[in-house]
Amino acid sequence: MRHNLNLIEKRPSFVTHLECGYDGDSYPCDTIQGLSKAGKPLLVRYDLHGVKSALTKDILTSRPMDIWRWRELLPVRDEANIVSLGEIATPLIPLPSLAKKYGVKDAGGLLVKDEGRLPTGSFKARGLVMAVSMAKALGIKRIAMPTNGNAGAALAAYCSAAGIETYVFCPDDTPEVNVREIALQGAKTWRVNGFINDCGHIVADGEEAKGWFNLSTLKEPYRIEGKKTMGLELAEQLDWELPDVIFYPTGGGTGLIGMWKAFDELEKIGFIGSKRPKMIAVQATGCAPIVNAFQAGERHAKPIKEAHTAAAGIRVPAAIGDFLILDAVRESKGFAIAVDDEVIFEVRDRIAAADGLLLCPEGAATVAAWELSLERGLIDAQDKAIFFNCATGLKYPMPAASAFIDHHQPIDYDAMG
């Protein structure tokens, strides 16, 4: 008896089952699962009554500031399976220059959640640490993935840490730094002369041919659970009062879907009330399937042909969780909006120079979308807004800085300005 109790204490997760996000059918957990029978993403369900009696805000406060402080709401049962590289809680950084420009009164009214500080430099670490820890728990030995860069890097790093083999396929226009990072962190890595969906087909065919586990976005249940921690963390950082609007750069939509799920779970365990932020799905005009579907009033998005944007993280022509993204956006009374690449880079450069924060293009897209939403009267400048900067700006091309001094010649200090 005593022995069993100890075991229960060592198994802090309250997962009960998996559920098809489309038709609600239930599936067993603690066994390897991909998509549901309907071919849709599976969502992890918990005994939230159990979580409510086990977890208080005081207990939470006493734990380290990382994503594992939420263990009751996460799927990993045995902590021995956690493959951590240091998944810290990320800070909220104000944008004073933007606030000043638009007359925002509250100094904390415009905040960037800076995810670039996570392992491998992007918030893909949140999703992949969870998926890889679960893969380890379930005995998976070989994983494959199509990626535009950041997901592959996080997969490679965590799988190397877990002793799992990885096969990664990138479209051939993936930035050099991403491809090299993936290879250096131990994945067998290929460039493919096609788009991300072409890479996806190679992985799907290899599932049978090579016995790979397919870790494509939303094709297994646990990446959402990792990304969900963004919503949990945000609520706690804002003292359990959610913001008015969240601008999220939307590719596969894992984070938007995950945060929406997190808010629901937090309400059910009594940590927050019913107030919800408007969820704003931000895309690039060269690849805006969700924006098109939102405007057309549809629940599924039509794939984009010849998708193009330099913001690689949101270059996703077809998202398998499209309906989950669109449902959350609509339920939240939010909207989907697209911004041009030119504007994205103008904003990136402006915020870096004025506020000292180097956003990635996807993060800059969220700020650009805020300005456009304001111009269109969709939001108020005084609404408390959160921008997701999903990766470090250091992984992306930057404008040249070519001023030069020949130190053998007299130096013209006046010319320095």
Ligand X SMILES: *Cc1c(COP(=O)(O)O)cnc(C)c1O
Minimal distance, residue 160 CB to ligand X, in Å: 19
- 43 or 104: CB nearest ligand X: 43
**What are the phi and psi torsion angles at 234 (to 5°)?**
-60, -45
**403: which residues sit within 8 A by CB, 6+ positions away?**
none
Place of tokens 């021995």: 80
**409: which residues sit within 8 A by CB, 6+ positions away?**
none
Q: Which residues bind ligand X (CB under 6 A)?
A: 122, 124, 150, 217, 249-255, 313-314, 360, 362, 390-391
At residue 355, what is the residue type?
A: D
Pair type for strands 385-389 and 245-249: parallel
Closest to 246 measured CA to CA, from 123, 129, 142, 328: 328
Minimal distance, residue 325 CB to ligand X, in Å: 8
Minimal distance, residue 250 CB to ligand X, in Å: 5
- 148 or 269: CB nearest ligand X: 148
Pair type for strands 110-114 and 92-94: antiparallel
- 109 or 231: CB nearest ligand X: 231
Measured at CB, which residue is nearest to ligand X?
313
Element (H, E) at 170: strand 165-171
**What are the phi and psi torsion angles at 178 (to 5°)?**
-70, -45
- 99 or 217: CB nearest ligand X: 217
Minimal distance, residue 391 CB to ligand X, in Å: 4
- 51 or 74: CB nearest ligand X: 74
Minimal distance, residue 372 CB to ligand X, in Å: 18
Do residues 281 and 256 make contact, with C-beta atoms less than 8 angstroms apart?
yes
Half-sphere CA count of 219, side-chain side, radius 13 A = 16
At residue 250, what is the residue type?
A: T
Minimal distance, residue 327 CB to ligand X, in Å: 15
- 215 or 390: CB nearest ligand X: 390
- 122 or 160: CB nearest ligand X: 122
Distance CA 265, CA 127 (A): 18
Minimal distance, residue 261 CB to ligand X, in Å: 13
